[in-house]
């Protein structure tokens, strides 16, 4: 099981600060989050980067979510 840690607006929407995730695929993970948090859309979540154990991944579609990993949604960063 991985743990998704929520912050800011997502935490407010979910009403909790963590969600336990069993999926190992990104799409399965998104489905799990959307099913558990009313008002969150998959499209909105997929616009964000995903941090897995501290590594920020801007396009996580193909990632495998490791067992016992810590997950965070992170706003995508561009820069100058």
Q: How far is the CB of 28 from other proteins (least distance, A)?
A: 20
Residue whose CB is less far from other proteins, 46 or 51: 51
Distance CA 1, CA 24 (A): 9
Q: Which residues contact 5 (CB under 8 A, 6 or more apart)?
A: 17, 18, 70, 71, 72
| Of the residues 1, 3, 12, 64, which one makes contact with other proteins according to CB under 8 A | 12
Distance CA 67, CA 3 (A): 9
| Of the residues 8, 15, 35, 43, which one makes contact with other proteins according to CB under 8 A | 8
Please tell me whether residue 15 binds other proteins under the rule CB under 8 A. Answer: no
25-44 binders of other proteins (CB under 8 A): none
């Amino acid at each position: 099981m991985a743990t998704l840690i929520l912050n800011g607006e997502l935490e407010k929407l979910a009403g909790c600060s963590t969600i336990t995730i069993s999926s190992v695929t990104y799409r399965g993970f998104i489905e799990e989050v959307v099913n558990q948090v009313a008002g969150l859309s998959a499209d909105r979540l997929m616009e964000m980067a995903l941090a897995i154990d501290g590594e920020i991944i801007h396009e996580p579609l193909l990632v495998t979510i490791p067992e016992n990993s810590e997950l965070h949604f992170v706003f995508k960063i561009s820069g100058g």
